[in-house]
Structure 1
């Protein structure tokens, strides 16, 4: 089995979305302070926060302390997290959790309902089984997959709002918030920046990008959308945004190869295998990152036609769909706000 080098993966994830207007925003002739920036490995990826206003390292300390706190509470890859405790008590008893974890699990259940269970945060047993993105990724046996599929059902999560407890009805169930926690973390990072007087900043949590307001010059930020077939960060197009989050999910982010076939990390909870449709990536643009994060996965399962239809029914939400044959589909609101920069890709609408 051929596994992807973890260092290459880290480089790839941090390049999922490129910020292309930094040079302009940093120009001393337009602003008398230099941006302060920090990059750390948190939430399973490289996270970068860049502030363009007058600020201090203490503000970045607060942001990264918060990101680490969220990770410690919600990860399923470290012992003693809150979700680890919930999984250990599955089928036995409820577990009290923080407001953070309770809120994100509730949001996960909401999106599971909206997607008819296709997006399901109880996918944890399958995620553990496949191990994609770890050093023990493997192709499971059909019997193993069927056994884990039987444990996936968001309706088997019992929430007690008064006591802030969570219980999983069946032993062996695992909640995995990997499809939504980074979005929540981005929102919390922005919240801290605002509380500390920051007005112009970029938060990039491994592909979950939030640009605060406009850049220093009062212009929209230009965000490059990652080329699904270029691991070093080459973009296929540019979108201009102000005070928005831009979140991308794709089949190229984490995968392993066996017998010449690639198996990516976006798992179909109904089949137990990685999603197999025409899509290479989905980008969602909206006001709240946790909603955009979950939505990229939910619409990914619907493919292009149904995905576009579902996004177009929502206010102030836009999306970009890139197919495996290098076609690009956008929602109507992006018609005059998205430009293809790679001629190998063709804009279809």
Structure 2
């Protein structure tokens, strides 16, 4: 079995993002920097949160731009370390170690993410549940190629229950009520972490920037005076694009899919990393989806919703998207059918035209 570092490196090679920023005909994240007379532009890529995180920014003198990009990565790394279930010293691991014993005082940033996760769990009737960390039999991060034993999974699924996570906002503490319970914030921590990186750039006066974390794309302003171009991969054939969107101003395009990370297919049945909290097994719903929200509150609108739709299915996803007038979406279902909200379809048609 591979060690964690080797597995993380392989994961970076395998991961295919549904949302793909396109800059000047090339792909964001190939390294290097492009220097124009005005404005100055920089691109940078680093491995973080099990994926490649890319930043493109422009509009400041080179030294200030470089410092801002470095500071954004430092802040994102700090938060990623805090919210990781793979770092033995993280507060998330501490909560699991103290399960059934005592509450654990947690940083304010982590508390806010967990409160948002609890709210989404209630909203979706448990289709999203951060206590899926108890399903330790699944180890896609370590190159797993065999299905876990059913008896082991059946024992672990009994420990998945968001209602048995007690969050005391006044005391700043979190308590898992049963030994063996554990948290996995993979479906809800990444967007706040990427948002924090974008906030660092904004605080440094960078008005035009994009951060892409494995297909979750924050954008602000424009690129070379034109809208950002972001292509949407086809989950059925990840080497091709369904189309591209032109976006400017401020917003977020978030993607989820069963093709994004390591998976295997024993006996012809596809096993992937998005787990259904109700069964303890990989979801059988959509292959992938992209959600678009504009404005400063995009994270609140989208965070965790992609994972919930992957569990809840196409019909529930459509209802959630259509009920929110500020939300656009595209869903590719398990049978290959594609549904798009009117705004998403219009954006993709306009780009193809």
User: When the two structures are superposed, what TM-score results if normalisation uses the length of structure 2?
Assistant: 0.87
**Rounded Cα–Cα distance in structure 1 between residues aligned with 2:173 and 2:211:** 31
Provide, for residues 136-161 of structure 1, a one-character-per-residue CA deviation record: whole Å limited to 9, x for no partner. 45311221111111111111111111
Task: Identify the residue that residue 276 of structure 1 maps to in structure 2.
Answer: 284
Which of 248, 252, 255 is the matching residue for 1:245?
Answer: 252
Task: Identify the residue that residue 104 of structure 2 maps to in structure 1.
Answer: 95
Q: Is the 8 A contact 1:222 1:241 kept in 2?
A: yes
Which of 19, 22, 29 is the matching residue for 2:21?
Answer: 19
Which of 215, 225, 228 is the matching residue for 2:235?
Answer: 228
**Rounded Cα–Cα distance in structure 2 between residues aligned with 1:184 and 1:83:** 16
How far apart are residue 292 of structure 1 and its match? 2.0
**Rounded Cα–Cα distance in structure 2 between residues aligned with 1:27 and 1:97:** 41
How far apart are residue 301 of structure 1 and its match? 2.1
Flag structure 1 segments of 5+ consecutive residues without an equivalent. Answer: 343-349
How far apart are residue 108 of structure 1 and its match? 0.6
Task: Identify the residue that residue 78 of structure 2 maps to in structure 1.
Answer: 69
The aligned length equals 335
| Residue 122 of structure 2 is aligned to residue 116 of structure 1 | no
Task: Identify the residue that residue 176 of structure 2 maps to in structure 1.
Answer: 168
80-89 or 158-167, larger mean C-alpha shift: 158-167
Provide, for residues 188-212 of structure 1, a one-character-per-residue CA deviation record: whole Å limited to 9, x for no partner. 1111111000111110111111111
How far apart are residue 250 of structure 1 and its match? 0.5
Q: Which runs of 4+ in 1 moved over 6 A?
A: 24-29
Q: Is the 8 A contact 1:9 1:253 kept in 2?
A: no
Q: Is the 8 A contact 2:68 2:204 kept in 1?
A: yes
Which of 42, 49, 59 is the matching residue for 1:43?
Answer: 49
Q: Is the 8 A contact 1:43 1:67 kept in 2?
A: no
**Rounded Cα–Cα distance in structure 1 between residues aligned with 2:270 and 2:157:** 21
Structure 1 residues 14 and 210: alpha-carbon distance in aligned structure 2, compared to 1, 3 A threshold:
farther
Structure 1 residues 164 and 326: alpha-carbon distance in aligned structure 2, compared to 1, 3 A threshold:
same
**Rounded Cα–Cα distance in structure 1 between residues aligned with 2:301 and 2:141:** 24
**Rounded Cα–Cα distance in structure 1 between residues aligned with 2:99 and 2:105:** 13
238-247 or 196-205, larger mean C-alpha shift: 238-247
Structure 1 residues 95 and 180: alpha-carbon distance in aligned structure 2, compared to 1, 3 A threshold:
same
**Rounded Cα–Cα distance in structure 2 between residues aligned with 1:125 and 1:138:** 18
Aligned counterparts, 1:134-283, within 5 A: 134-136=142-144, 138-217=146-225, 219-231=226-238, 233-242=239-248, 243-254=250-261, 255-277=263-285, 279-283=286-290
Structure 1 residues 314 and 7: alpha-carbon distance in aligned structure 2, compared to 1, 3 A threshold:
same
**Rounded Cα–Cα distance in structure 2 between residues aligned with 1:194 and 1:259:** 50
280-289 or 6-15, larger mean C-alpha shift: 6-15
**Rounded Cα–Cα distance in structure 2 between residues aligned with 1:225 and 1:298:** 20
Q: Is the 8 A contact 2:19 2:290 kept in 1?
A: no
Find the residue that maps to 1:110 and give its secondary structure.
helix
Flag structure 2 segments of 5+ consecutive residues without an equivalent. Answer: none
Structure 1 residues 27 and 39: alpha-carbon distance in aligned structure 2, compared to 1, 3 A threshold:
closer
**Rounded Cα–Cα distance in structure 2 between residues aligned with 1:292 and 1:341:** 23
Task: Identify the residue that residue 68 of structure 2 maps to in structure 1.
Answer: 59
